[in-house]
């Protein structure tokens, strides 16, 4: 009898061992195997985007260096030009001057800025000429020329010629406009003119052409130098080529001035340029013209001006191009930085569960639907109760799609206050509202060429539903505070635990948006409809949490599995994982077991987790004196966004008790300031 019992015991042991081995073989293929692969892929994507950012930074530096080189070339040409460059305002104050101009006045460049140019003019007549000169430029919008005398630092008086034009080449208010002026030292020319005056008594000895005419333009005399230049037998007739076409007007104007006053102008004859000094001797009724050849100098000045204009044009064109390139690089840099920040945050956040576990027909049907729609760009609506794993199905669709090379961008519409979710989705410009201290790229812009998952879409405020509808229809939107339209190519996957048809009937969800989202609906079954998947999930969750806690838990009782399968699971997979995590914490040995009744246990587990989170938030808020944002705020200490912290406080019912003294000063009453008051204050933001 004892032998029979021993054999039965051995057979039972062998049967148990074989059953455990077979169970191990069945679940081996179902255990998570892509954790390391997903982590490596995410790290690889982060490194690739980091390299892309480095490349963009290198291109930005190269473009900056090119712009700096072009600017340096322009500065060299501007500063070391052979003529003085000045910019005057309407009052005649010096706005800007190059080095040549500063040396011309004998003063330091910086000390000339905002100094009146009149203080350098040698006489009252010159100051009046300069004033009329500015008026002529502003009124005629063209180029004007005049000659005046200037005092230098050494007390030397020099003769200069001013040539000015308006800055914008368009109508300018004479009270506010600026003019550009070139100033040339013509002292040597004046000295030459004086020599010509000395030679006036001996015109035949003058090496330069000398011509005399009467007031009716009749040629009275021309010297030998004039004849040599003209090489004409009939010199008196040929000499008329020296005469300006508006000579009568010049003579008339000279006649209004004192005796001996002259005008100066340039004239071209047979490809040679002469500077003519025209002197009126009113008493003698004679006009004498002294012509000095300045062909070489004129060509040099013209070549320099042409080179200056060409370089200025090239620098201006290049500066537009570089600004555009810099703007594009800056936009790409911001997007890469935003993506990198998102990747880093996604790596740090621990998902509730990383894999879809199960073999039930209901689950296989859902996965088959996901596999069918994944290769397309069709909008998908994933329906199901809370905790069924809708976001995991969205992730699976993205990873099976052509957009899998870029990260899936997820936005929880229920976790953000209504006045902040628009900024999260579509971005904002700096100063768009109070507190918007920086420019922020929205999730739709980050998700360009990728997929965005709008989790709990049923929580989206009505005001934003219209804007979301426009993005789906036209693939475009504007950031808050901006009128510029942004085009994007984004695939939308939406999830909800609400009955959107009922929400439409109640007026809480737009009917046209519902039709746009409901193109390809997928309903994830609740856990109570896939009970055959519970054992696989239990073993997967048990191993995961046991490994994290350093425990050796190898099995679970059949009775426990049956208990779990018979439970209704109102919280679905999320509730199941919480129960298993709690059981692993309490488990003293290698066999997992539940110590309490399941219904009470689940409620206790959820309550314990929420209480732990609530107590931790209250502790940090107390330490920071209820300061949420800023360097020393609770959000920074907890490692989350301020908007997320406010949403968690609202969900957990965390309010601040503010003591108020009564009228008599002896009593106190508490004033509750909830998160709704903070949110309502932000609704007034423009």
Three-state SS at 161: strand
Q: What is the pLDDT of residue 440?
A: 83
Burial code (b: 16+ CB inside 10 Å, e: under 16) for 285-312 equals: eebbbbbbbbeeebeebeeeeeebeebe
Q: Whole domain around residue 656: which residue ranges? A: 613-682
Q: H-type helices in 170-294, by residue range?
A: 187-198, 224-230, 235-238, 247-254
User: pLDDT, tens digit, for every residue of 423-456?
Assistant: 888 888 877 777 667 778 888 989 999 999 999 9
Sign of the Cα torsion 492, 575, 351, 531 reads negative
Q: What is the pLDDT of residue 309?
A: 77
- Rounded CA separation 145/134 (Å): 10
Q: Are residues 650 and 575 in the same domain?
A: no
Q: Which CATH number goes with the domain that contains 554?
A: 1.10.8.60
607 has pLDDT over 70? no
Vertex 581, ends 579 and 585: CA angle to 5°?
A: 115
Of the two residues 29 and 512, the one the predictor is more confident about is 512
| Locus of tokens 């949403």 | 647
HEC letters along 114-142: CCEHHHHECCHHHHHHHHHHHHHHHHHCC
User: pLDDT, tens digit, for every residue of 146-170?
Assistant: 999 998 877 788 889 998 887 654 4
Confidence band for 667, pLDDT divided at 50, 70 and 90: very low
> Is residue 142, in this structure, part of any structural domain at all?
yes
CB 525 within 8 A of CB 363: yes
Q: What is the pLDDT of residue 517?
A: 93
Taking CA atoms, 79 is separated from 72, 94, 308, in Å, by 10, 16, 11
Task: Kindly give, in sequence order, each residue whose CB lies less than 8 Å from that of residue 517, ignoring residues fewer than 6 positions away.
Answer: 379, 381, 457, 472, 492, 494, 500
Q: What percent of the chain has pLDDT over 70?
A: 71
CA atoms within 13 A on the CB side of 445: 25
- Rounded CA separation 552/543 (Å): 9
Q: How far is CA 371 from the centre of its chain?
A: 38
Q: What percent of the chain has pLDDT over 90?
A: 14
Q: What is the pLDDT of residue 60?
A: 74
634 has pLDDT over 70? yes
User: pLDDT, tens digit, for every residue of 431-440?
Assistant: 777 766 777 8
Q: Are residues 484 and 573 in the same domain?
A: no
- Rounded CA separation 676/686 (Å): 18
User: pLDDT, tens digit, for every residue of 191-250?
Assistant: 766 665 555 555 565 667 777 777 776 777 777 777 776 665 455 556 666 676 666 667
Neighbours of 124 (CB within 10 A): 9
Number of domains forming the structure of the chain: 5
Instruction: Take residue 499 and report the two structure tokens written for it.
Output: 């009955």
- Rounded CA separation 48/351 (Å): 23
616 has pLDDT over 70? yes
Mean pLDDT score, 41-56? 72
Q: Are residues 520 and 538 in the same domain?
A: no
> Is residue 442, in this structure, part of any structural domain at all?
yes
Q: What is the pLDDT of residue 256?
A: 61
> Is residue 439, in this structure, part of any structural domain at all?
yes
**pTM above the 0.75 mark?**
no
Confidence band for 142, pLDDT divided at 50, 70 and 90: confident
Of 540, 567, 595, which closes a domain? Answer: 595
Q: What is the pLDDT of residue 6?
A: 63
Q: Are residues 112 and 155 in the same domain?
A: yes
Pairing of strands 656-661, 668-673: antiparallel
If we measure between CA atoms, which residue out of 407, 377, 396, 382 comes closest to residue 457?
Answer: 382
Burial code (b: 16+ CB inside 10 Å, e: under 16) for 126-143 equals: bbebbeebbebbbeeeee
Neighbours of 503 (CB within 10 A): 16
Q: Are residues 670 and 628 in the same domain?
A: yes
Sign of the Cα torsion 633, 638, 641, 647 reads negative
Backbone torsion region of residue 475, taken as left when φ is above 0, otherwise alpha when ψ lies between -120 and 50, otherwise beta? left
> Is residue 510, in this structure, part of any structural domain at all?
yes
Of 550, 569, 595, which closes a domain? Answer: 595
Neighbours of 541 (CB within 10 A): 22
Task: Kindly give, in sequence order, each residue whose CB lies less than 8 Å from that of residue 67, ignoring residues fewer than 6 positions away.
Answer: 318, 319, 322
> Is residue 379, in this structure, part of any structural domain at all?
yes
Phi, psi of 161 (to 5 degrees): -115, 130
User: pLDDT, tens digit, for every residue of 342-382?
Assistant: 555 454 433 333 468 888 889 889 988 999 999 999 999 99
- Rounded CA separation 298/678 (Å): 74
> Is residue 32, in this structure, part of any structural domain at all?
no
CB 338 within 8 A of CB 16: no
674 has pLDDT over 50? no
Neighbours of 377 (CB within 10 A): 13
Task: Kindly give, in sequence order, each residue whose CB lies less than 8 Å from that of residue 595, ignoring residues fewer than 6 positions away.
Answer: 583, 586, 601
Q: Are residues 502 and 439 in the same domain?
A: yes
User: pLDDT, tens digit, for every residue of 563-598?
Assistant: 899 888 888 998 899 889 888 888 888 888 886 666
Instruction: Take residue 42 and report the two structure tokens written for it.
Output: 């995410």
557 has pLDDT over 50? yes
- Rounded CA separation 302/224 (Å): 30
Q: Are residues 110 and 176 in the same domain?
A: yes
Q: Are residues 355 and 481 in the same domain?
A: yes
Instruction: Take residue 205 and report the two structure tokens written for it.
Output: 């000895």
> Is residue 92, in this structure, part of any structural domain at all?
yes
Contacts 24+ apart (CB under 8 A), 55-62: 56/329, 56/332, 56/333, 56/336, 57/333, 59/329, 60/326, 60/329, 60/330, 60/333
- Rounded CA separation 408/348 (Å): 15
Among 235-239, 251-255, 493-497, 673-677, the minimum mean pLDDT is found in: 673-677
Q: Are residues 374 and 388 in the same domain?
A: yes
Q: Are residues 395 and 517 in the same domain?
A: yes
- Rounded CA separation 644/676 (Å): 14
The helix (H) or strand (E) run that includes residue 474 is helix 462-474
> Is residue 573, in this structure, part of any structural domain at all?
yes
CB 454 within 8 A of CB 493: yes
User: pLDDT, tens digit, for every residue of 517-551?
Assistant: 999 999 999 999 999 999 999 998 999 898 888 88
Q: Are residues 418 and 545 in the same domain?
A: no
CB 442 within 8 A of CB 482: no
Of 471, 501, 525, which closes a domain? Answer: 525
Q: Which CATH number goes with the domain that contains 450?
A: 3.40.50.300
Q: Which CATH number goes with the domain that contains 139?
A: 3.30.450.20
Vertex 455, ends 449 and 459: CA angle to 5°?
A: 125
Q: Are residues 375 and 516 in the same domain?
A: yes
User: pLDDT, tens digit, for every residue of 57-102?
Assistant: 777 777 777 777 766 766 777 777 788 889 988 888 999 888 888 8
33 has pLDDT over 80? no
If we measure between CA atoms, which residue out of 474, 477, 469, 475 comes closest to residue 494?
Answer: 469
Q: How far is CA 294 from the centre of its chain?
A: 54
């Amino acid at each position: 009898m004892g032998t029979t019992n021993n054999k039965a015991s051995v057979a039972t042991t062998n049967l148990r061992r074989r059953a455990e081995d077979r169970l191990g073989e069945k679940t081996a293929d179902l255990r998570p195997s892509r954790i390391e692969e997903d982590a490596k892929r995410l790290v690889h994507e982060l490194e690739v985007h980091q390299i892309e950012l480095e490349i963009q930074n290198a291109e930005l530096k190269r473009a900056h260096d090119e712009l700096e080189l072009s600017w340096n070339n322009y500065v060299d040409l501007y500063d070391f030009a052979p003529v003085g460059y000045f910019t005057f305002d309407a009052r005649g104050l010096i706005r800007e001057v190059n080095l040549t101009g500063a040396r011309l006045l004998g003063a330091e460049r910086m000390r000339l800025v905002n100094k009146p140019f009149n203080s350098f003019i040698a006489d009252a007549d010159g100051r009046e000429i300069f004033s009329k000169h500015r008026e002529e430029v502003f009124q005629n919008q063209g180029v004007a020329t005049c000659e005046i005398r200037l005092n230098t630092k050494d007390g030397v008086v020099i003769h200069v010629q001013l040539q000015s034009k308006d800055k914008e080449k368009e109508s300018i208010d004479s009270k506010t406009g600026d003019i550009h002026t070139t100033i040339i030292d013509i002292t040597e020319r004046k000295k030459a003119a004086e020599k010509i005056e000395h030679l006036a008594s001996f015109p035949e000895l003058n090496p330069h052409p000398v011509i005399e005419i009467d007031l009716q333009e009749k040629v009275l005399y021309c010297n030998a130098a004039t004849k040599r230049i003209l090489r004409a037998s009939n010199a008196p007739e040929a000499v008329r080529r020296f005469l300006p076409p508006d000579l009568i007007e010049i003579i008339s104007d000279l006649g209004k001035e004192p005796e001996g006053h002259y005008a100066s102008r340039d004239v071209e004859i047979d490809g040679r340029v002469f500077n003519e000094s025209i002197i009126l001797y009113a008493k003698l009724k004679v006009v004498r013209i002294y012509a000095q050849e300045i062909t070489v100098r004129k060509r040099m000045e013209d070549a320099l001006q042409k080179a200056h204009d060409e370089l200025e044009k090239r620098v201006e064109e290049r500066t537009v191009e570089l600004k555009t390139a810099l703007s594009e690089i800056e936009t790409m840099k911001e997007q890469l930085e935003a993506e990198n920040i998102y990747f880093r945050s996604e790596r740090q956040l621990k998902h509730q569960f990383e894999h879809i576990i199960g073999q039930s027909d209901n689950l296989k049907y859902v996965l088959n639907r996901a596999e069918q729609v994944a290769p397309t760009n069709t909008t998908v609506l994933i329906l199901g109760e809370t905790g069924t794993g809708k976001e995991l199905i969205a992730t699976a669709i993205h990873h099976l799609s052509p957009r899998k090379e870029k990260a899936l961008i997820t936005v929880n519409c229920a976790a953000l206050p209504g006045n902040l979710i628009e900024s999260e989705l579509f971005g904002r410009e700096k100063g768009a509202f109070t507190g918007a201290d920086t420019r922020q790229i929205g999730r739709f812009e980050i998700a360009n060429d990728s997929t965005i998952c709008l989790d709990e879409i049923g929580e989206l405020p009505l005001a934003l539903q219209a804007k979301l509808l426009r993005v789906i229809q036209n693939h475009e939107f504007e950031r808050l505070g901006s009128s510029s339209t942004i085009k994007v190519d984004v695939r939308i996957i939406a999830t909800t635990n609400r009955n959107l048809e009922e929400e439409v009937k109640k007026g809480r969800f737009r009917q046209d948006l519902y039709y746009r989202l409901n193109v390809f609906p997928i309903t994830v079954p609740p856990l109570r409809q896939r009970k055959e998947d519970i054992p696989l999930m239990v073993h997967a969750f048990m191993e995961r949490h046991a490994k994290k806690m350093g425990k050796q838990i190898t099995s679970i009782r059949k009775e426990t599995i049956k208990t779990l399968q018979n439970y209704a699971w109102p919280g679905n997979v999320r509730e199941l994982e919480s129960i298993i995590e709690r059981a692993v914490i309490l488990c003293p040995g290698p066999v997992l077991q539940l110590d309490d009744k399941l219904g009470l246990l689940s409620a206790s587990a959820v309550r314990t987790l929420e209480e732990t989170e609530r107590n931790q938030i209250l502790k940090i808020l107390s330490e920071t004196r209820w300061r949420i944002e800023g360097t020393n705020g609770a959000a920074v200490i907890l490692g989350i966004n301020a908007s997320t912290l406010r949403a968690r406080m609202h969900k957990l019912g965390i309010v601040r008790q503010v003591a108020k003294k009564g009228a008599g000063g002896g009593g106190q009453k508490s004033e509750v300031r909830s998160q709704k008051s903070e949110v309502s204050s932000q609704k007034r933001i423009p």
